[in-house]
Amino acid sequence: MDIIVETTLDYNLNNKAQNILVNAVDDADEMQFVSQGGILVMRPDGAILSMIGGYDYGKSQFNRVTQAKRPPGSAFKPIVYLTALEQGWNKQDKILDAPINKGEYRPKNFGNKYYGKVDLETAMAKSMNTATVRLAKDIGIGNIIKTARKLGIISKLNRDLSLSLGSSGVSMLEIGIAYSTFANGGFKVYPYGIKRIKTQNERILYTHKKPKSYIPIISRNNAQELSIMLQSVVNNGTGKNAKQLYPIYGKTGTSQDNRDAWFAGYTNKMVTIVWLGNDDNSPMRKITGGGLPARIFKKVINSGNANQQPITFPTNSNSGNNSGFSDLLGRLIKGGNTAHNQNKRRNDYSNLNE
């Protein structure tokens, strides 16, 4: 029996995203040593609009969006700051950004540049490492992990302070789910790619059903405050290359030795995650999240944002059920060989602010 599968894929956007990624890798200076990348575009309700799993599907069918687990670097920091907001901090509260001279873990800021007492919004915008580590120590690594779990990150997370700087390998899909929650005002996201399956004679075999109610997993006020902080990253901080004429919220991320470069961000219509790196985990050169990934993000957002409608989530949702989600996500992101799945190797991520 022949069947027709209707997906959430935006065909034109997907083609544009593929071309943007290929051209970016091809046009990069050959001495920058970048050979791979991935792009994920979602709606804030979880509908997947585009998924580019690598530079060339013909040469490698490994899906770097769902199967590769790579350290997100500072793209993980919003989860730290959100945890602080959930504990009663606000974006104007102060934290010390200065060298850490006690304990086994002593990360540094980029260029050994420190700012002293700063508010959380500035610390996020300039992606200060030592301020973030001090904040993480104050609010507790266990609480940060709990926040990450609520947001849909199910990969193994290192229970030490380096987690706050993005040392644990996660998938692009997991980061996309987390940022979709930021974008929709704090509601749990169930990613999906199939809208309907039917036979040629129009008999419906499956229809994606929206949850009867949406689960608020973080407060709307804290989601909004975090978005203000992420807008500062783009307007005044490390994410300036992603700036548009309309509001952009996002975060740069770069792992140790420039092995991974990320930009994760959103509008009120689209969430887009960009990753660049190499399958053998070899370092790139002079590629950071605020550079080429941010420029790729800007092109992708510009290609599809105008064609989407904002999603308004109900304000009175307090329950929901999607029992198969965890199992599905687990199947999507598990596995892959060790060349693709690089967890922390006791790195301190101390030489990067992005």
Q: Where are the domains of the chain?
A: 7-194+216-333
Chain segment 325-346, per-residue pLDDT in tens: 444 555 555 555 445 555 444 4
181: closest CA among 141, 248, 226? Answer: 226
Given this model, what pLDDT does residue 349 score?
46
Q: pLDDT band for 316, please (50, 70, 90 cuts).
A: low
Angstrom distances, CA of residue 12 to CA of 19, 165, 293, 304: 11, 35, 21, 9
262: closest CA among 55, 70, 110? Answer: 70
Neighbours of 206 (CB within 10 A): 13
CATH class of 7-194+216-333: alpha beta
Per-residue pLDDT, averaged over 156-183, amounts to 98
Q: pLDDT band for 217, please (50, 70, 90 cuts).
A: very high
Given this model, what pLDDT does residue 298 score?
98
Distance CA(24)–CA(20), nearest Å, equals 6
Given this model, what pLDDT does residue 66 score?
98
Q: pLDDT band for 112, please (50, 70, 90 cuts).
A: confident
Chain segment 30-84, per-residue pLDDT in tens: 899 999 999 999 999 999 999 999 999 999 999 999 999 999 999 999 999 999 9
Enter the tokens of residue 101. Answer: 């001279």
What is the pTM assigned to this prediction?
0.90
Chain segment 13-44, per-residue pLDDT in tens: 999 999 999 999 999 998 999 999 999 999 99
Rg (the chain; Cα; Å):
19
311 has a pLDDT exceeding 90: no
* Percent of the chain topping pLDDT 70: 88
